[in-house]
């Protein structure tokens, strides 16, 4: 029987994927320089609202003819700052007692980008969205005070990710039958808030999700990841809240016990407001929708407008979008664009596991509105039967604002 680390990997069902062991010297990223901006890419004010370490896309800058969100326009959510990582020396370290051959962190399997890119690759289109998207509407629409970045609806996009399925990597490494939990840890600087150092951004997820549709992504929309979006490698957990998709992925710990981190015990679970004290960590995103219009919008009277927007859900494709152009007095069904059924828009061979996690474009004609003040409403329903409510349950950190947004429009 082979005994070296190299041959442990080689003895797995398929070809070996790694040939080295983690160096103890640490990872090859440079810390962000003091005073350097958190976000590296340009944030032109006509396309972004800049919150410093976070930036959201402006919905009125979205091109209705374009299904995918270009990386240049995608929102950024950084706990600290985008690190600079050298792809040539980058390694993903995998360890834990949930591997068939248990490994300590010091003895982790170390995978280069080349190791990963030699494996069968896949592309997967999915909505990518922050848990707190829509947070500002708790205040502006429900008169409630919550903490966190005052996003409108722009901390969302739809991306065609490219990478290797996590299950491909885990199967080749070999999983213990009792493995239940995987901790993903980023290479960005530790997150400090107030006097607390929470350590590196990290969040556990169940092995079942890891074996289902999790992706280790090195590409987005046919390009390498931008630094702000996780270059050279990020995790993608389709349909789940943004924090689950750890950027600048440094390590995966696979364990036979439930792992925890502040990102599933303190943050990203419901506290306060309408929720009991023991709400579970958040996972699947709710149903939401947005108009591709400025907020508030001004439209010309006497002309026929085609109003466009998008609807999405973490659980299932969108089944219908009901819209009102008069503040909820009357409703009609919006037309749904079926050119990209839930993200299946492709020239490429679809992975069987790509169930289509993209958003759905909708439109409605508004013939010759008279001058005045209006509220546009859109209420999306997904195929799992989930619908946007009129009011979102209050919670202290302002997560999951999924209520129908009252979008003000002045017709002049």
List contacts with Mo ion (CB under 5 A): 77, 130, 242-243
| Bridging pattern class, strands 249-255 and 92-95 | parallel
Backbone region of residue 339 per phi and psi (left: phi > 0; alpha: psi in -120 to 50; beta: other values): alpha
Partner in contact with 293, chosen from Mo ion, ligand MTE, none, beta carbon below 5 to 8 Å by kind: none
Q: Cα–Cα distance between 221 and 263 in angstroms, integer?
A: 28
- For position 290 contacting ligand MTE by CB under 6 A, the verdict is no
* Residue with Cβ nearer ligand MTE (245 or 324): 245
Q: CB of 18 within 8 A of CB of 103?
A: no
Residue 242 interacts with ligand MTE (CB under 6 A)? yes
| Residues forming a β-bridge with 289 | 311
CB-wise, 75 or 362, nearer to Mo ion? 75
**CB-nearest residue to Mo ion:** 130
Q: Label residue 37 exposed, middle or buried (CB < 10 Å: 0-12, 13-18, 19+).
A: middle
Nearer to Mo ion, 96 or 242 (CB): 242
DSSP string, 33-102: PTT--S--S---TTTEEE-SSEEEE-GGG--TT--SPPGGGS-EE-SS-PPEE-TTT--EEEEBTTBSS-
Q: Which residues of 367-379 are buried (b: 16+ CB within 10 A; e: fewer)?
A: eebeeeebbbbbb
Please tell me whether residue 246 binds ligand MTE under the rule CB under 6 A. Answer: yes
Under rule CB under 6 A, how many of the chain's residues touch ligand MTE? 20
The smaller minimum CB distance to ligand MTE, of residues 79 and 340, is found at 79
The answer to whether 248 contacts ligand MTE (rule: CB under 6 A) is yes
Per the CB < 8 A criterion, the answer to whether 393 and 354 are in contact is no
Minimal distance, residue 280 CB to ligand MTE, in Å: 18
Q: Give the nearest distance from C-beta 102 to ligand MTE in angstroms.
A: 26
Touching ligand MTE, residues 83-102 (CB under 6 A): none
Candidate segments 107-115, 223-231, 309-317, 328-336, binder of ligand MTE by CB under 6 A: 223-231
Q: Is 74 a binder of ligand MTE (CB under 6 A)?
A: yes
Which of the choices Mo ion, ligand MTE, none does residue 96 contact, using the CB cut-off of 5 to 8 A by kind? Answer: none
Which residue from 41, 47, 58, 77 is in contact with ligand MTE, where contact means CB under 6 A? 77
199 and 190 Cβ atoms separated by less than 8 Å: yes
- CA dist 121 and 162 (Å) reads 7
A 10 A CB-CB count for 109 gives 26
Q: Which is nearer to ligand MTE, 74 or 113 (CB)?
A: 74
188 binds, among Mo ion, ligand MTE, none (CB under 5 to 8 A by kind): ligand MTE
Tell whether residue 122 is a contact of ligand MTE (CB under 6 A). no
Contact status: 186 vs ligand MTE (CB under 6 A): yes
Q: List beta partners, residue 299.
A: 411
Nearest to 282 by CA among 397, 125, 161, 136: 397
| Residues at the site binding ligand MTE, with contacts judged by CB under 6 A | 74-79, 128, 130, 186, 188, 201, 228-230, 242-243, 245-248
């Amino acid at each position: 029987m082979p005994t070296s680390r190299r041959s442990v990997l080689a003895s797995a069902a398929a070809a070996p994927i790694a040939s080295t062991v983690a160096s103890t010297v640490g990872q090859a990223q440079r810390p962000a320089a003091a005073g350097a901006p958190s976000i590296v890419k340009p944030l032109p004010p006509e396309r972004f609202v800049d919150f410093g370490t976070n930036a959201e896309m402006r919905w009125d800058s979205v091109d209705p003819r374009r299904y995918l969100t270009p990386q240049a326009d995608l929102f950024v959510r950084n706990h600290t700052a985008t690190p600079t990582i050298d792809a040539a020396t980058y390694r993903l370290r995998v360890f834990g007692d949930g591997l068939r051959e248990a490994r300590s962190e010091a003895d982790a399997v170390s995978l280069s980008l080349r190791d990963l890119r030699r494996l069968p690759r896949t592309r997967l289109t999915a909505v990518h969205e922050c848990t707190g998207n829509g947070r500002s509407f708790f205040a502006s629409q429900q008169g409630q005070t919550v903490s966190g970045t005052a996003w409108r609806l722009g901390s969302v996009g739809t991306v065609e990710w490219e990478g290797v399925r996590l299950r491909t990597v885990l199967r080749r490494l070999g999983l213990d039958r009792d493995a239940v939990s995987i901790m993903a840890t980023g290479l960005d600087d530790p997150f400090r808030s107030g006097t607390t150092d929470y350590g590196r951004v990290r969040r556990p997820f169940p092995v079942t999700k890891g074996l289902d549709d999790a992706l280790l992504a090195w590409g987005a929309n046919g390009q390498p990841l931008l630094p702000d979006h996780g270059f050279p490698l990020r995790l993608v957990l389709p349909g789940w809240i943004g924090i689950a998709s750890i950027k600048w992925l440094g390590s995966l710990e696979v364990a036979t016990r439930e792992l925890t981190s502040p990102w599933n015990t303190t943050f990203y679970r419901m506290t306060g407001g309408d929720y009991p004290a023991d709400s579970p960590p958040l996972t699947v995103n709710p149903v939401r929708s947005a108009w591709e219009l400025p907020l508030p919008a001004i439209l010309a009277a006497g002309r026929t407008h085609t109003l466009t927007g998008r609807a999405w859900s973490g659980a299932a494709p969108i089944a219908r979008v009901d819209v009102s152009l008069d503040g909820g007095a009357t409703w009609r069904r919006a037309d749904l664009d079926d050119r990209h059924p839930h993200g299946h828009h492709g020239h490429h061979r679809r992975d069987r596991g790509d169930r289509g996690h993209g958003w759905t474009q909708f439109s409605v004609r508004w013939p010759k509105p008279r001058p005045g003040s209006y509220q546009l409403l859109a209420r999306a329903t997904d195929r799992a039967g989930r619908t946007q409510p009129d009011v979102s349950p209050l919670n202290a950190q302002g997560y999951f604002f999924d209520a129908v947004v009252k979008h003000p429009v002045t017709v002049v």
